[in-house]
Chain A
Amino acid sequence: MGMLLVTLFLPLLGFLAVLFINNDQSKGIKYTALGVSLLSFFASLFLYFGFDHTQSSFQFTMNAMWIPTLDAGFRVGVDGMSLLMVLLTTFITPIAILCSFGSIQKREKEYYAWMLLLQFGMLGVFVAMDTFLFYVFWELILIPMYFLIGIWGGKDRIYAAVKFFLYTLVGSLLMLVAIVWLGIYAQGLPGGHFTADLMKLREIAPTIPLEIQKWLFLAFALSFCIKVPLFPFHTWLPDAHVQAPTAGSVILAGVLLKMGTYGLIRFNLELFPQAMFEYATPIAWLAVVGIIYGALVAMVQTDIKKLVAYSSVSHLGFVVLGICSMTPEGLQGAIIQMVNHGLSTGMLFLCVGIIYERRHTREISEFGGITKVMPKFAVLFTIAMLASVGLPGLNGFVGEYLTLLGGFTSPFLNNHWLSIISATGVIFAAVYLLWMFQRVMFGTNDNPKNHGLHDLTASEYWQLIPITILIIWLGVYPKTFMVISEQSTQALVGKLETLKFGKTIYPLVEKKAQAQK
């Protein structure tokens, strides 16, 4: 329990500490921020080692009453899925802070303070076991992100920041309505009272009449699908990414988008399974459209960052497809794909940032033959690109393959075409990424402005290397991480199957056992 609080509150303390450092203490501010985020990372490692992955329940739990009349409490804890998200957050944040050292020149104190507050918010979202607490953290994130884009962003930063803010807010207000409705429903039950306790709501929610469940489902789903973003709610993403500073993009792609898919599992799937059965197919189709659509639109981009942004739409489509499959393969694939996407797309944004730093442009046509002047960078950029392409042996493949397999074999979706069409996404991924890569990195270095580019600095090197190691690790031996969420996924799928088919069917297990005899 203690370590969870330490992990969670260190960034908040860091936020306050940074505020008390003098404005001109640039170094002090930077290293405080970096140090705090690293400490939070080390604290989260204790969670990893202390977590009992043979259990499906929430662990490191804590419950403190906050608003008694609403039965809203400071209830936190992690199950396998949320632990992975926590680890992803604590891993990505120090890297994002480190990559800002050179590029952020103005109002540094505010910047690093916002970064730490952002981390606090993200961690809160993943550990909250209380609907009100979740909502507070969910909205808390908007504020630092709004300022990060709006102050340190590119040319159209104000437009992008406002768009990001409003877009997300529209969804989350509906979620708030649903949260309140849930509490009131609990109150109306015999002997019940208003509650925001997620554990209690898990018991109660499935008893809600299906017609109402559907509305609640949609209210939550809209909020999450905007965050993911699921096609056609994605248009805030390219703008936000292009305008955000590199660290903002890294956090956005690395962690923020996963809040959407995390929410889909945590709330939509766990609270309203019957409604999920109704809506899984249409949502899965939107995911499939997003996979292809995102890839095709990424293909024709002339700005590298926008290309990577659209690729996120495509990649997150796999996650949503896996969630909708409601199979152990699909869900485990979706969870690991969230981590994978955070790593590989985060790294791609770092790479884009590295060349943007040097040239102050991201137009593909401005580049060519960069490999010659930046050979080290070329190697790491290649690995990030290939991970994103989904090359077996690197992390992206594991997630993509399992989500597609889940989608294909799902008894809930019961439609092979979803996965077959999605699988063409692997072709398009190769097209847009390889084509971009070839135009930027291969050929002769003709543009005189690119002649003097220097290779990776030590700092840049240390941003990319840790991610690279994980990319390979997850590709070769994903078990280290997948085992964490295995039990919670199995338990969830078991529940869903009982509800739908009247028994826990592990049809594949049985048949496989037979096949081996």
Chain B
Amino acid sequence: MNKSMIDLIYLVPLLPLIGFFITGLFGKKQKSEALIGGIASAAVGGAFVVTALIFMTLVGHGSEERSHIVRLFTWMQAGSFTIDVSYQVDQLSILYTLIITGIGTLIHIYSIGYMHGDKSFPRFFAYLNLFIFMMLNLVLASNFLLTFLGWEGVGLCSYLLIGFWYERKFDGSFIVWTGDAAKKAFIVNRIGDFGVLVAMFLMYNQFHTLDYTAVNAQAAAGFQPGATLITTITLLLFLGCTGKSAQIPLGVWLPDAMAGPTPVSALIHAATMVTAGIFLIARNATMFALSPTTMAVVAGIGVATALTAALVGLVQNDIKKVLAYSTVSQLGFMFIALGVGAFTAGVFHVMTHAFFKALLFLGSGSVIHGMHEEQDIQKMGGLKKYMPITYKTFFIGTLAIAGIFPFAGFFSKDEILWNAFSQGHWVLWAVAVIAAFCTAFYMFRLLYLTFGGKERFDHHHIHPHESPKTMTFPLIVLAFLSVVGGFLGIPYALSIGGSIPNLLEHWLEPIFAPAMEILRRPEVHEVHAIEYGLMAASLMIAILGILLARSYYKNASDQPQAMANRFSGIYKLLWRKWMLDEVYQYFIVDVFYTISNGFLWKIFDVKIVDGVVNGTARSIASASELLRKIQSGIAQNYAIMMMVGIVAILVWLGLGT
């Protein structure tokens, strides 16, 4: 019976797919928003229920029997190359699936309120359902290629949803329309996908399979740590991760992705899709562990992104952009964890971040909704009395992301910091702590400027109001999760001598065991005094950031401008996001365009290749033109020609003898 429960895994992606078809094909004619939103939400909610049942079944199994492959049908076959549509149900995928369907359901419900009255209401829910379907394929796949389907599929949905309001303008570097932002997201991601594609070729060429289990097992069996091939493969995979999870150098698309409706930002660009990169590495932890080089690169890119994004977050005035940069920064933290071999800590942070960042984004959506589409925090202030539920839940989310005990973010972030430090990467630790300080600062800056202080909006036109229940209910649930979520992964140091189990670590342990073996990382169960010290230090630093933000922004109304003036040089650089967009535009995009347009097309294709073609035709034509003159129609000329010919033949014959 238990086994057959697990076989029902196909229902999990299937339900949202059915939802997609219903809302997509028949939604347009249906007038009732409640029905459309209800069907879409029920599809994802149903998937969540099935997932929960399967999860319970797995819990009932011994820890060695929690990995199952459910094969559905053959997708592609040619020669000896066979790829199945088959799902791998195990501790890692079921955790991700719970997060995706759980938070997905909440965001669907929220969207019923948020998208109320939108003329493309059914289209929005169709896309959301399609997204869930693709995301589930990404995490449930038992092979790289099916994950790749989900990987590109979520990219597609992200594209469709960023450009959802295709008639709206959006302000960004080199971006005018929301469609520009959508296109940018897709193309930048494609660059990363190129890496995944080539990595898959290399793996198939070497291992003759793309199944996760087989590839990782064969890699571990056949290669020594540090093998060049494995390093190449994992670096190429990581290129894909930098695209999807918005890390340096491909992170530029995420802030512009905020052009999409806010629930999209919460679901896709914070809680689920952008953590796909972490998933891919966690899924292939064994292979990554085999390459110290790649691990160092992952950690290095992670910490660099965490800091640079946090710094940009300090100066943003658009409520969603602040959150976007904070997402980039938090994803950087997750990569630090993976890079130092703390895979569980990375996944832990994925989970807590999903809770509090979805909460914060939905909260910002509630603010935007209540402020009639205003997103500039300079034009807000004092909203807490108008939107009490939004304010309280947002406050909880802010405490969680800032890393205040005992909110969820504290545990996961601290786990990452401690792992970095205890592995001897104290530089990583130090930089990450600075990033954490910035996080606390800009998040409270956001909180104060939005909800505290004087009201800076125009009372005549804007009447802030609390959002409907469909929107506040998800906020409350997520706020609850942001408070308690951290207790799933209590560090040993806080477990009162091991009496409170670290549930998450225990759950994921079999998944990462082979990687840990390669890294020679024994389980440590002793408490270091220094761990408490570091914990206290990071908590202090977070509080320092909060206090600093409080002193600047608690009551001030003109502070953003004042700060901008005081640090004008660095401010400008941060305001323009390190000029990365400019560099890409001028040194890559424009160069390609100019060469393609100016040389390849207008000169090489038209003048050279076609020039040869037309030139050949013309020279034949002009040669004929010359020959035509012989055919003059004048009998005398023909007679002369004939004479010349006869003489020539005679001469030739004469010479011959």
Contacts and interface: CB of A to CB of B under 8 A. Distances in A.
Chain B binds chain A: yes
Contacts of B182: 438, 442
A301 B79 CA distance: 38
A456 to B, nearest CB: 14
Interface in B177-208: 177-180, 182-183, 186-187, 190-191, 193-194, 197-198, 201, 204-205, 207-208
B76 A398 contact: yes
B486 interface: no
Contacts of A332: 78-79
A299 B194 contact: no
A326 to B, nearest CB: 11
Contacts of B159: 434
Nearest to A313: B605
A393 to B, nearest CB: 6
Nearest to A514: B208
Nearest to A435: B183
Which of B74, B167, B595: most chain A Cβ within 10 A?
B167
Contacts of B145: 392, 401
Contacts of A509: 79-80
Interface in A282-319: 293, 296-297, 299-301
A39 to B, nearest CB: 31
A434 B178 contact: no
B618 to A, nearest CB: 12
B63 interface: no
B613 A300 contact: no
Given A371-B166, A409-B204, A512-B209, A424 B194 contact: yes
Contacts of B208: 508, 511-512, 515
Interface size class of chain B, counting residues whose CB lies under 8 Å from the partner chain: 35 or more
B441 interface: no
B205 A328 contact: no
A443 B177 contact: yes
A202 interface: no
Nearest to B592: A296
A333 B78 CA distance: 8
Contacts of B253: none
Contacts of A372: 166-167
A442 B168 CA distance: 9
B149 interface: yes
B156 A297 contact: no
B374 to A, nearest CB: 21
A370 to B, nearest CB: 10
A195 B647 CA distance: 45
Contacts of B552: none
B156 A391 contact: yes
B76 A369 contact: no
Interface in A383-418: 386, 391-393, 398, 401-402, 404-406, 408-409, 416
Contacts of B592: 296, 299
Contacts of B77: 479, 482, 486
Contacts of B148: 392
B149 A392 contact: yes
A419 interface: yes
A444 B596 contact: no
A297 B597 CA distance: 7
A399 to B, nearest CB: 10
A512 B193 CA distance: 26
Interface string A470-484: 000000111100100
Interface stretch (A51-59, A144-152, A425-433): A425-433
B81 interface: yes
Contacts of B191: 427
B638 interface: no
Nearest to B205: A409
Interface string A485-500: 0100110010000000
A333 B183 CA distance: 28
A438 B78 contact: no
A193 to B, nearest CB: 38
A398 B81 CA distance: 12
Nearest to A327: B79
A319 B235 CA distance: 29
B610 to A, nearest CB: 4
Interface residues of A, number: 66
Contacts of A301: 601
A442 B609 contact: no
For the residues of A in contact with B, the DSSP-based class is helix
Contacts of B149: 392-393
Contacts of A424: 194
A269 to B, nearest CB: 16
Contacts of A477: 73, 75
B593 interface: yes
Contacts of A478: 75-76
B167 A515 contact: no
A236 B617 CA distance: 13
Contact of B201 (A293, A408, A426, A489): A408
A249 to B, nearest CB: 19
A405 B81 contact: yes
B79 A392 contact: no
B560 interface: no
Nearest to B81: A329
B54 to A, nearest CB: 24
A442 B179 contact: yes
Nearest to B156: A391
A430 B186 contact: yes
Nearest to A392: B149
Nearest to B167: A444
A404 B201 contact: yes
Contacts of A333: 78
Contacts of B19: none
Contacts of A210: none
Contacts of B156: 386, 391
B495 interface: no
A235 B613 contact: yes
B79 A438 contact: no
A12 B593 CA distance: 48
Contact of B597 (A300, A329, A401, A423): A300
Contacts of A406: 78
B573 interface: no
A86 interface: no
Given A371-B166, A442-B179, A479-B74, A508 B79 contact: yes
Nearest to B191: A427
B613 A441 contact: no
Interface in B76-135: 76-81
A235 B194 contact: no
B153 A393 contact: yes
B609 A482 contact: no
A371 B160 CA distance: 13
B163 interface: yes
A512 B218 CA distance: 11
25 contacts: A236-B613, A296-B595, A296-B596, A333-B78, A372-B166, A391-B153, A391-B156, A392-B153, A393-B149, A402-B81, A427-B187, A430-B190, A438-B177, A438-B179, A438-B182, A441-B166, A442-B163, A442-B167, A443-B167, A477-B75, A482-B76, A486-B77, A512-B80, A512-B208, A515-B218
Interface of B: 73-81, 145, 148-149, 152-153, 156, 159, 163, 166-167, 177-180, 182-183, 186-187, 190-191, 193-194, 197-198, 201, 204-205, 207-209, 214, 218, 592-593, 595-597, 600-601, 605, 609-610, 613, 617
Interface of A: 163, 166-167, 232, 234-236, 293, 296-297, 299-301, 327-329, 332-333, 369, 371-372, 386, 391-393, 398, 401-402, 404-406, 408-409, 416, 419-420, 423-424, 426-427, 430-431, 434-435, 438, 441-445, 476-479, 482, 486, 489-490, 493, 506, 508-509, 511-512, 515-516
The 8 A-B residue pairs with the shortest CB-CB distance in the complex, in nearest-first order? A328-B79, A442-B179, A332-B78, A300-B597, A392-B149, A442-B166, A296-B596, A509-B80
Given A391-B152, A441-B166, 7 more contacts: A235-B613, A236-B613, A300-B600, A393-B153, A424-B194, A442-B178, A477-B73
